[in-house]
A and B are shown apart, each in its own frame.
Chain A
Amino acid sequence: MFSEQAAPTAQGLLAPPSAEPPTFPRVSVSGYSDCSQPFQLGERSFSRQYAHIYAVRLAGMRPGLERRARSRWGNDIVLRKLSELQAGEKCCVVGTLFKAMQLQPSILQEISEEHNLVPQPPLPKYIQPSDELILEDELQRIKLEGAIDVQRLVTGTILAVYGSEQDDGRFLVEDHCFADLPPPLPWKGPCSDRFVLLTSGLGLGSVSGEALLSTQLLVDVVTGQLGAEGEQSCAAHIARVILAGNLLSQNTQSRDTINKAKYLTKKTQAASVEAVKMLDEILLQLCTSVPVDVMPGEFDPTNYTLPQQPLHRCMLPLASAYTTLHLVTNPYQADLDGVRFLGTSGQNVSDIFKYSSMDNYLEILEWTLLAGHISPTAPDTLGCYPFYKSDPFILTECPHVYFCGNAPRFQSKLLQGEEGQRVLLLTVPDFSTTQTACLVNLRDLTCQPITFSGFGAEDED
């Protein structure tokens, strides 16, 4: 993208100083609106049980699923609740999935004294062949077996199964379906090239500093200091930068204050303080030149439960003086120039990765879109706020760009839906390990990774 436009003047700066060099005005995003109100929590009360979320989720997704089931298996199929099932009758049931996993870390097992167990160390995947699927609706539950992939599915998904009840009380599944892609949003994208830069996992505050030069190069490219004139004019088309989480690195999480004695840790500062200062400086450089949206991630100083609330602006005193800095929630939804963006910092995808046999982050991302829910594992294995009125993670409209941050590598795919939906699925790689960011072109929903590198003593290729 950049390269084709920039190529002609590539060598332009290998010359003696010329007359006043041009400055390019940044293209402005005229139509920006933040649509992430459902993810912003006002008054929070944790005195509720989590069962309400499931009830609300099922109630919210049931109509859509029933419609989908009818269109798939015929208009005359029988839709039953679990309490109305009759043995041997072919029918369709809509309910919440629960996967009973042996290896799933359970707090009850941990504190159970008769077992005398050491807490289970975190495993990359918790699936086992002996896992079972159980379908629950409002009143009852039933075991599922048959043509359904137990390993692939995760707890909390709402789906419709078609089959019949066996004599032994299990449900034999012949077919199942998800909510599929939500209805499409009209496309009002821009006609000229506009780019949005997505990056995640800056990992500031880590002990190693290799990524720092790359981060600086990234900032320089975006603010237009790097590159020849052609590249700078292309960079002026970057309308927005979205930082999708994990701005601080995992190293800042360790809290010696818990383990060490108080007199040893009295004068020490939390590692995240320095990291946040560094972040503030980087954001200041970016904000003077481009609007920035900052999403919190797993290791960032905000609440742990989803939806994560925006970072507080007093942590970023220098940068928050600029109106171009937007501190937003995780998950984040916004309309940029008519293009709807929806994305998370990756906690939902990595959680599904742990509890499902799906290995590819892009595949998981696509699956969540098809299942109609951003994070089905939310209250079960991923922290979540106890919603009771409505579940904001249900996908009601199909976004144009659906991304997740902190993926191991860059992947992208353009998905076409039956009702004319066009979604760009994007896994944004972790910058601190891959030094790669993504550039999305709003005009035609194409995407390109950008890699930055310095040189070290070891690369001799």
Chain B
Amino acid sequence: VTYKWLSYTLGVHVNQAKQMLYDYVERKRKENSGAQLHVTYLVAGNLLQNGHVCHKVAVVREDKLEAMKSKLSTIASVHVYSIQKALLKDSSPLYNTDYDIVKTNLHHCSKFSAIRCAAAVPRTPPDVPRAQTSTQSSQPQRDPDAAGVVNGHGPPAAKPPPQQHKGIMGMFAAKAASKPQDTNKEAKAEAKEAPGVSAASSKPPTKNNIMNNFFGKAAMNKLKVNSVPEQQKEEKEVAKPSVAVAEPESSPNTVVEKPGKKTESTRIQQKDKKSKMKRVDRSDDEEERDPENVKKKRKRIKQLQSDSSDEEDVPPSPTPEEERAPSPPPVPALKTELEPASTEVSAGGRKRKRKRVLKSKMFIDEEEGCM
């Protein structure tokens, strides 16, 4: 048992873990229960070596502790490193324990550390492809990259699906856009549970770039890999249509309906939600092109749902509308931009449609994997 293992297993600060170990040793020794405990300590301090003062950090067995302490001219720290029942021949079991526990917690290994670094923020996925949008060839590179990360995150992935759901719900809750941003970011940032640092400042530029990438080819591939950008895209439609992504603006009603559908979806089980995503996505495409088909879509989806679609539809719809009302004033301006952008939009939509099947399949796989 090393202090690091204890800290991860119990979820406490490393210093507390060290103190706990010490406490345990003291108590056991006092009780004199007969079980022999072997303790190793960590000693650090200054040592005169080869003519210069060298800072030494060493793991020592208990019997060598005093000897090491006397060798050091000043002692910087002493604490319990680990406790074992049997005498250790060398330090490799200590290393192995630590290695294993760190490996299973790789993504939040600094959670219990004594130092927090504000700069250590995981790069959000759009930043990554943005740097590489110049070459198409780099995209496949990024895909295995992202896939690898997603797969590697299998074990702690129990969190991401609920977060995604929360993201969707939060998106369309009647709150300010910042809230869905937070939850969405957590779901989006490849579920890296970085110690509580959410760079909210990076959110708006990130979103804008997602918007920009939306109709770029790069975004097509990205959408294929990650279901999360799908949500982002939808969130974007609702929250901040500053770029000429005209689809939300094509008809406020249709967009309002979409969020409405989505809120319904989250209240129902996952399976329905999955199919809903497919539908909603398809309906995205079509809404851009034929606003009049929307009514049809809505009816179809309503049939799918188990209950109370009407009431649920209406109350959430005014709220997202409100939400969008405070969004930037260029809403009417964007309507004029609708025409030039619509061709772009429809092209993008068509492309997306082609890839749609694959994407939703991937979504299912990921969902099921995570479940």
| Cβ contact of B117, chosen from A4, A22, A324, cutoff 8 A | A324
Please state if B79 and A20 are interface contacts (CB–CB under 8 Å).
no
Binary contact track B92-128/A, C-beta < 8 Å → 1, others 0: 1011001100110011111011111111111100001
Partner of A13, one of B80, B102, B103, B117: B80
**Nearest B residue to A452, CB-CB:** B57
In contact, B76 and A224 (Cβ under 8 angstroms): no
A217 within 8 A of B: yes
Our pick among B4, B58, B121, B128 for the contact of A225 (Cβ within 8 Å) is: B4
Q: A281-B106, A450-B57 are in contact. Are A455 and B192 (CB under 8 A)?
A: no
Per the bound structure, the CA–CA distance linking A317 and B145 in Å amounts to: 6
In whole angstroms, what is the CA distance A70 to B126 when docked?
58
Q: Are the CB atoms of B44 and A231 closer together than 8 Å?
A: yes
- Interface residue from A228, A289, A318, A436 paired with B110 (Cβ < 8 Å): A289
Query: With A and B bound together, what is the CA distance between A83 and B180 in angstroms?
Result: 77
Given A23-B13, A223-B115: A3 and B54 interface contact (C-beta under 8 Å): no
Residues of B within 8 A of A16 (CB): 19, 22-23, 26
- A457, CB-defined interface residue at 8 Å: yes
B273 at the interface (CB under 8 A from A): no
Q: Is there an interface contact between A231 and B52, defined as CB atoms closer than 8 Å?
A: no
| Count class of interface residues, chain B | 35 or more
A6 engages B90 (CB within 8 Å): no
Max chain A C-beta neighbours (<10 A), residue from B18, B49, B99, B141: B18
List, in ascending order, chain A residues with CB within 8 A of B115's CB. 23-26, 223-224, 232, 235-236, 289-290
Task: Pick from A4, A11, A227: contact of B42, CB below 8 A.
Answer: A227
Interface string of B257-295 (1 = CB under 8 A from A): 000000000000000000000000000000000000000
Q: Which of A208-216, A260-268, A355-363 contacts B (4 or more CB under 8 A)?
A: A208-216
Known contacts A17-B16, A23-B116; A451 and B55 CB within 8 A of each other: yes
Closest A residue, CB atoms, query B153: A318
Q: Mark A268-302, 1 if CB is under 8 A from B, else 0.
A: 00000000000001001101111100000000000
Most buried by A among B75, B91, B148: B91
User: Is A41's beta carbon under 8 Å from chain B?
Assistant: no
Q: Which residue of chain B has the shortest Cβ distance to A460 in the bound complex?
A: B64
Residue of A nearest to B64 (CB): A455
Bound complex: CA A220 to CA B81 (Å):
12
Taking CB atoms, residues of chain B closer than 8 Å to A448 are 52-55
CB distance from A179 to the nearest CB of B (A): 31
Complex Cα gap A3–B149 (Å): 40
Which single member of B46, B52, B91, B119 contacts A3 (CB below 8 Å)? B46
Question: Given A224-B114, A228-B79, are A13 and B15 also a contact pair (CB < 8 Å)?
Answer: yes
Task: Tell yes or no: A64 within 8 A of B by CB.
Answer: no
**A28 — which chain B residues lie within 8 A by C-beta?**
118-119
| In the complex, A15 has a CB within 8 A of chain B | yes
Complex Cα–Cα for A250 and B75 (A):
36
Q: Which of A10, A13, A317 contacts B148 (CB 8 A)?
A: A317
B54 touches A452 (CB 8 A): no
Q: Are A10 and B76 in contact (CB under 8 A)?
A: yes
The answer to whether B76 touches A228, judged by C-beta atoms less than 8 angstroms apart, is yes
B74 part of interface (Cβ distance < 8 Å) = yes
Contact residue among A216, A217, A234, A284 (Cβ-Cβ distance under 8 Å from B106): A284
On whether the beta carbons of B16 and A225 are closer than 8 Å, the reply is no
Given A213-B59, A216-B95, A288-B120: A229 and B102 interface contact (C-beta under 8 Å): no
Tell yes or no: A226 within 8 A of B by CB: yes
Closest Cβ neighbor of A448 among chain B residues: B55
Residue contact B94 to A451, C-beta cutoff 8 Å: no
Q: In the complex, A265→B23 CA distance in Å?
A: 54
Is A73's beta carbon under 8 Å from chain B? Answer: no
30 contacts across the A-B interface (CB closer than 8 A): A13-B18, A14-B22, A16-B19, A17-B19, A18-B16, A20-B13, A23-B13, A28-B119, A216-B95, A217-B59, A225-B112, A225-B114, A227-B42, A228-B76, A230-B77, A232-B114, A236-B115, A288-B110, A288-B120, A290-B117, A314-B141, A317-B152, A321-B190, A322-B122, A323-B122, A450-B56, A451-B49, A451-B56, A452-B57, A453-B59
Q: Known pairs A10-B75, A439-B55. 17 more at Cβ < 8 A?
A: A3-B55, A7-B75, A13-B77, A24-B115, A26-B115, A224-B114, A226-B44, A228-B77, A281-B102, A284-B107, A285-B110, A289-B116, A321-B123, A448-B52, A449-B52, A451-B56, A452-B56
B residues apposed to A, CB below 8 Å: 4, 7, 13-16, 18-20, 22-23, 26, 40, 42, 44-47, 49-50, 52-61, 64, 67, 74-80, 89-92, 94-95, 98-99, 102-103, 106-110, 112-123, 128, 141, 144-145, 148-149, 152, 190, 192, 194-195
